[in-house]
Each structure stands twice: as structure tokens, then as C-alpha cells.
Chains A and B, each alone.
Chain A
């Protein structure tokens, strides 16, 4: 269970939000909405522990994430605006490298499987510099295929995807939630996640 307690965010001299409290439970995604600059990305980065909130705390299963440290990150998967892929590596190499960085060794077959699921079959061995924006985003999303983390924090995951990929991603998130996972997602688009009642947090208010 992820809990945000009286969170406040200050960017430069503006207070983006303050006294923000919410609880995210298994199976019920939290959709964060708001206009550009409302602080959606800042909030997500606070939930991951990348930024310290100006006020308030983030708790994971009752303990502040600062105290949990690596133990919290074991349960965390974050997808930000950047794809975190290297252009001179192939798609498969990128997946295996990013897995290794989180302490997981993936077999070639497993990496290919993940790429196949995300719709990049046949492109596994191309250096990613030759892929389109949408395809690069898919390589970044391929992590969702093999990563067993409990908490998914996804920042604008639907951007640059075509309809097929959108459906695929929504299905993947639904599957994760059905298995008892948690998800915090920001999105400008109204994407229904297969019958899941979503908790909506609007930062513009």
C-alpha cells in the first residue's frame, strides 16, 4: 500500500500543491491528472523517492520510503519521460542491460519474448537509433513485460503510441493490477483500463 501524507511541492518560487494526501491500494490504479506544469511529474518523482517533498512523507506499507531505501526500490518500477535506452545498443541489448542494472539477469530468449509482446518482433537486433520514436518508446515499455515489481509508477506512458500499442499497454497494466499490483499513472489521455475503477487525483484543483 502506497500512502502520500500531506505532500507539498515547491518549484522555484511557486507552490504547486500542498497538503496532498492519498492512499493507493492493490488493484486500484491512481490516475493523476492536471494541466501542464501542475506538478504531475514532480509528484511521481516524489513517490519514487527521487525528489524530497517540500513537506509531508511518502509511506510504503506503513514505513517512510526514506528509511526503506533499496528495499522499497525492489518493489518499484518507474517509467519517466525519458526512455533510458542507449542508441548504439540493439533493442535486445538495451533490455538485458537495463535488467542487469536492476540486478536481474535475462536470457536472450526472455528479452526477445518481451520485445515480441510489445510488438517489436524482427527488430530485436537493430541498434535502437534506427527505430522510430514510437518504437523506442516500446523498447522502454518492454520492461513492463518481465519486471515483477509491485508498484508501477508510470509518467505519461501512452505518449507516442499507436492504437494497437495503446491497447496492449492498457491490457498489460490491467493484468498487473489483477495480479495484485499497484499503479500510479499520469496521462493527458482518457484511457480506460479494462473495467478497473480508478482513483482520480486532479492537481489543477
Chain B
């Protein structure tokens, strides 16, 4: 028995959440299936005209990824809240921010990173070329962590609250809009010949802001929810 530092605890939290999710298995797969279905809904609703689809593909894929990430937010803290683990985390001598950061990172690995990997595959359905697919993946790689971080705040605020899922969406979606604009915008900018680097740089800036601000806000919200 020995004391371990915050980084080791961070790793332990990530390992724990990954183990739990992989034993349930449903979480990763349902997020991916949802993403695929939503991406297919748009052509079905709009029409199969390929020039039009090619034009709006970045937006569709980004909105699909955003909705898929948002649906998985509910699970970030819900089970731990229900079985009393969240309470124990709040009473741990390890700063709650470290534990929360671990949970958010694990959430991204399970619900964000798969979207980054799947998006280029779906992008082929929309006839996007290799370069666009690369930029799409890069924008999602920067953007999905932001979605997990901001979503964590919403999930923490709606702990055990009535109408949780829909309320969570109402709270989080307006905050997701800048990420959506810069993310989809990066791919579109590149498609019309402008540089995507401005958009990607802004995404990186949002990510840095979120990394510093979100765990703190989430911790405050969790303590409020546990009162």
C-alpha cells in the first residue's frame, strides 16, 4: 500500500471508466451507430443529388458527431452518482478536478475518438476527397475533446434532475455552436480554396480554454449537485 500522485490517480480513473465501459460494450457501439444513422438521414431527407450533398457534407458530419457526442454525455456521471461513487470521489483527498479530468478524458476516448475515426468513412458516402477527409478528421480531433469538456459541465449541472437528457441538450447545444462553426468551417474553407489553418487554430484555442475552464466549472457543478 503506497500513496500515488495525481497523475497516477488520473490514469487509474481513466482505466476504471474504460474497463467499465468495455465490459458493458454498448456505449461505444451505440454512439457510432447513431452517428452513422444521422449522417444517412440527411440524404434521405434532402435528396441524393451528389453535388448538393458534397457541398453540405462537412456540416452534416459535424452535426452528426455533435449529436452523437451529446447523447453519450448523460452517462458521464449518472451511474457514479446513482451508486454513490461520485460522493466518494467528492470526499477523496485527491482534488476532485483531477478525478473529473480523468472521467472527461475517458469519455472522450469512448465517445469522441471513435467519431474521429469513423467520420472519414462516412465522408466517403458524401464523395469528399482525401484532403477534405483529412481536414475533417483533424477538426474533429480538436473539436470532440471540446465537446466532452463543455458537455461535462452540462452533465454535472443536471445530475439526477428531472427531464435530464433533453434539459442537458438544451443547456449544452448553444455552447457547442462555436466549436461547430469553426470545425465545419475548416473543411468548407479548404474546399473553396481558402486555408483551413485559421479555423483549426481557433479550435485549438477553444480547446485550451476548455481544458482550463471546464474541469473547474464541472467540479463546482458536481459539488452543488451532491449537496
Q: Tell me if chain B binds chain A.
A: yes
| Distance in Å: Cβ of A152 to nearest Cβ of chain B | 12
Residues of A within 8 A of B79 (CB): 86
Contact of A105 among B8, B82, B84, B89 (CB under 8 A): B8
Contact of A100 among B12, B23, B84 (CB under 8 A): B12
Residues of A within 8 A of B211 (CB): none
Query: A70–B96 Cα gap in the complex (Å)?
Result: 9
Residues of B within 8 A of A71 (CB): 93
B226 within 8 A of A: yes
Residues of B within 8 A of A104 (CB): 1-4
Contact of B226 among A50, A84, A99, A146 (CB under 8 A): A50
Q: Is the CB of A97 within 8 A of B16?
A: yes
Q: Is the CB of B227 within 8 A of A103?
A: no
| Distance in Å: Cβ of B223 to nearest Cβ of chain A | 8
B99 within 8 A of A: yes
Name the residue in B8, B90, B91, B99 with the highest tally of chain A Cβ atoms < 10 Å from its Cβ. Answer: B91
Contacting residues of chain A (58-77) with chain B, CB-CB under 8 angstroms: 70-71, 73-74, 76
A173 within 8 A of B: no
Q: Is the CB of A105 within 8 A of B19?
A: no
**Cβ proximity bits B1-38 to A, threshold 8 Å, 1 near / 0 not:** 11111101100110010011001100000000000000
Q: Is the CB of A103 within 8 A of B23?
A: no
| Distance in Å: Cβ of A2 to nearest Cβ of chain B | 15
Residues of A within 8 A of B92 (CB): 73, 101-103
**Cβ proximity bits B95-130 to A, threshold 8 Å, 1 near / 0 not:** 100010000000000000000000000000000000
Contacting residues of chain A (79-122) with chain B, CB-CB under 8 angstroms: 80-86, 88-89, 93, 97-107, 110
A32 within 8 A of B: no
- Chain B interface size range: 20 to 34
Query: A73–B92 Cα gap in the complex (Å)?
Result: 6
Residues of A within 8 A of B9 (CB): 100-101, 103
Query: A81–B1 Cα gap in the complex (Å)?
Result: 27
Q: Is the CB of B89 within 8 A of A101?
A: yes
A150 within 8 A of B: no
Q: Is the CB of B3 within 8 A of A103?
A: yes
B49 within 8 A of A: no
| Distance in Å: Cβ of B38 to nearest Cβ of chain A | 29
**Cβ proximity bits B121-157 to A, threshold 8 Å, 1 near / 0 not:** 0000000000000000000000000000000000000
Q: Is the CB of A70 within 8 A of B93?
A: yes
Query: A23–B5 Cα gap in the complex (Å)?
Result: 33
B190 within 8 A of A: no
Q: Is the CB of A50 within 8 A of B90?
A: yes
| Distance in Å: Cβ of B28 to nearest Cβ of chain A | 15
Query: A85–B24 Cα gap in the complex (Å)?
Result: 15
B208 within 8 A of A: no
Contact of A84 among B1, B16, B88, B94 (CB under 8 A): B88
Q: Is the CB of A84 within 8 A of B83?
A: yes
Residues of B within 8 A of A160 (CB): none
Q: A73-B92, A98-B88, A104-B3 are in contact. List 6 more A-B contacts (CB 8 A).
A: A50-B227, A84-B87, A100-B8, A103-B3, A103-B94, A105-B1
What are the 4 closest A-B residue pairs judged by CB atoms, nearest first?
A82-B84, A100-B12, A84-B84, A74-B93
Selected A-B contacts with CB under 8 Å, 25 pairs = A49-B91, A52-B227, A70-B93, A74-B93, A78-B87, A78-B88, A80-B87, A83-B83, A83-B84, A84-B87, A89-B19, A89-B20, A89-B23, A98-B85, A98-B88, A99-B1, A100-B4, A101-B12, A101-B16, A103-B5, A103-B6, A103-B9, A104-B1, A104-B3, A110-B1
Chain A residues close to B by CB (< 8 Å): 48-52, 70-71, 73-74, 76, 78, 80-86, 88-89, 93, 97-107, 110, 146
